[in-house]
Amino acid sequence: METMTRNSVGSGRHLHPAQETMPREQLAALQLERLRSSVRNAYDNVPMHRARMDAAGIAPDDIRTLADVQRLHFTVKTDLRDHYPYGMFARPLSDLVRLHASSGTTGKPTVVGYTKDDISNWADLMARSMVSAGARAGDVVHNAYGYGLFTGGLGAHYGAERLGAVVVPMSGGSTERQVALIMDFGARVLCATPSYALAIAEVAESQGVDLRQSALEVGLFGAEPWSDAIRAEVEARLGLKAVDVYGLSEIMGPGVACECECRRGLHGWEDHFLFEVIDPETGRVLPEGEAGELVITTLTKQALPMLRYRTRDITRLDSTRCDCGRTHVRILRITGRNDDMLIIRGVNVYPSQIEAVLIGRPHIAPHYQIVVERKGSLDEVSVEVEVLPGVPEDRYGAVAHDVGHHIKSMIGVTADVIVKPPGAIPRSQGKAVRVRDLRPK
């Protein structure tokens, strides 16, 4: 395992300055060396990768430049399901120290595994992400990501410990207790999904607790798409700086990428991952700056090397200089997943676009659900919104009209708007359910 250079942990702007500010040429050379060994690991130890490379007539030694990655096959989520549970692991179970899994809505879960070194690299990258977000050694980190098979809880936990912070392993739920402990333990850093952070704020307000007066200064929020409008809302109600953190279990977990103080995209940690953006239809790699599907190849993972994993997440890359001094590419805010795209009367719409219209409109709370139903052969979409406390019922019609009008004028689609009383939209304790798909499966 590599030894990372540390300044006194967490005291500076960068946790691993040598890696984070490495000149891009040197970073590319490091990536190539690691790519070659990662491809070799996949080829030698994972039958699926070997079979696909053999079929394409490519051997690990054919990877001579970073662009050669484009000669490799893609890996998709169903590959993990098809090789359930351990068929894509490059190490025997005896070399592993941890499994995580995501519960698929249909069929088998996807299982991911880690060696001791994988866990250590993950802790390093999550600690690096936390410092990038503004956390420091000695901080009390209140971790409200779910513990268990989900990677959020343990990922943030190990990162906080590696940083030298004091972690409160709260997990999701028991929201009133979360509020009390944030106050009593003096948490400076909050880790949660943005939707759960809002739920915490709401419960605090209902208890008459002002979290803006707490010690909270930094929020590490991720695991679901969220808009700048939600960011503003969370910042105003919790009195902290909200920073976006990204990751996925198939690649590692949280800490694959994180914003810095400039918040102009999330630095993807290129010493451990290779990022591409492709056209989801053709699979062709797109020039930097164009929006498409993010594809990630792991460079250091031992137990589960991933070659060109199609994340389904839609974004753009930007490798221009960042004022923070980090040289690693920026992954611009994920606007949604391919799978989440709705087709409303022929128009492609992401839930995040609807969210951007809703948040901040007068009289409505930042909680909503989009309901998709099948009426005859057509999909019907309605948007459920919730009024703020104190809005009288005879105003609901006017609120529905206002929201519907803005959805139409800003996105170009007509959607039914259903206005509900305060508290009627379910609150999340983890990833928010933004779309209720009632279409027959």
Long-range contacts from 378-383, C-beta under 8 angstroms, 24+ separation:
378/345, 379/342, 379/343, 379/344, 379/439, 380/416, 381/342, 381/344, 381/413, 381/415, 381/416, 382/415, 382/416, 382/417, 382/418, 383/354, 383/358, 383/407, 383/415, 383/416, 383/417, 383/418
Nearest distance from C-beta of residue 283 to ligand DLL, angstroms: 18
| Closest residue by Cα to residue 13 from 136, 158, 167 | 136
Nearer to ligand DLL, 76 or 418 (CB): 76
Candidate ranges 81-89, 126-134, 245-253, 296-304; the one touching ligand DLL (CB under 6 A): 245-253
**Position with the least CB separation from ligand DLL:** 222
By CB under 6 A, residue 296 contacts ligand DLL: no
Candidate ranges 2-10, 14-22, 147-155, 208-216; the one touching ligand DLL (CB under 6 A): 147-155
Q: Where are the beta strands (DSSP E) in 303-440?
A: 309-315, 317-318, 330-331, 336-337, 342-344, 347-349, 364-375, 378-387, 416-420, 435-437
Site string for ligand DLL, 101-120 (x = CB under 6 A): -x------------------
By CB under 6 A, residue 334 contacts ligand DLL: yes
Among 124, 139, 224, 386, binds ligand DLL (CB under 6 A): 224
30: CB partners within 8 A, 6+ apart = 22, 271
- Tell whether the torsion through CA atoms of 90, 93, 95 and 96 is positive or negative: positive
Nearest distance from C-beta of residue 152 to ligand DLL, angstroms: 3
By CB under 6 A, residue 172 contacts ligand DLL: no
Nearest distance from C-beta of residue 311 to ligand DLL, angstroms: 5
∠ CA 247-249-252 to the nearest 5 degrees?
Answer: 70
- Residue 66, token pair as written in the block: 């970073």
- Tell whether the torsion through CA atoms of 38, 43, 47 and 51 is positive or negative: positive
Contact 424, 386 (CB under 8 A): yes
The secondary element (H helix, E strand) that includes residue 115 is strand 110-115
CA distance 416 to 291: 29
Nearer to ligand DLL, 94 or 105 (CB): 105
Site string for ligand DLL, 254-293 (x = CB under 6 A): x---------------------------------------
Number of residues counted as binding ligand DLL (CB under 6 A):
21
Contact 280, 336 (CB under 8 A): no
- Residue 234, token pair as written in the block: 């969370």
The residue type of 30 is L
Contacts to ligand DLL from residues 298-317, by CB under 6 A: 311, 313
Nearest distance from C-beta of residue 25 to ligand DLL, angstroms: 29
By CB under 6 A, residue 159 contacts ligand DLL: no
Nearest distance from C-beta of residue 368 to ligand DLL, angstroms: 17
Instruction: Say if strands 336-337 and 330-331 run parallel, antiparallel, or are unpaired.
Output: unpaired
Nearer to ligand DLL, 209 or 435 (CB): 435
Nearer to ligand DLL, 322 or 391 (CB): 322
Contacts to ligand DLL from residues 15-34, by CB under 6 A: none
Among 244, 270, 271, 355, binds ligand DLL (CB under 6 A): 244
Nearer to ligand DLL, 60 or 254 (CB): 254
Nearer to ligand DLL, 201 or 295 (CB): 295
What's phi and psi for 111, nearest 5 deg?
Answer: -110, 135
Candidate ranges 3-11, 51-59, 135-143, 247-255; the one touching ligand DLL (CB under 6 A): 247-255
Question: Residue ranges of the alpha helices (H) in 22-115?
Answer: 24-45, 47-56, 77-82
By CB under 6 A, residue 245 contacts ligand DLL: yes
Nearest distance from C-beta of residue 111 to ligand DLL, angstroms: 12
What's phi and psi for 438, nearest 5 deg?
Answer: -100, 10
CA distance 418 to 433: 17
By CB under 6 A, residue 337 contacts ligand DLL: yes
By CB under 6 A, residue 247 contacts ligand DLL: yes
Residues lying near ligand DLL in the complex (CB under 6 A): 102, 145, 150-152, 222-225, 244-249, 253-254, 311, 313, 334, 337
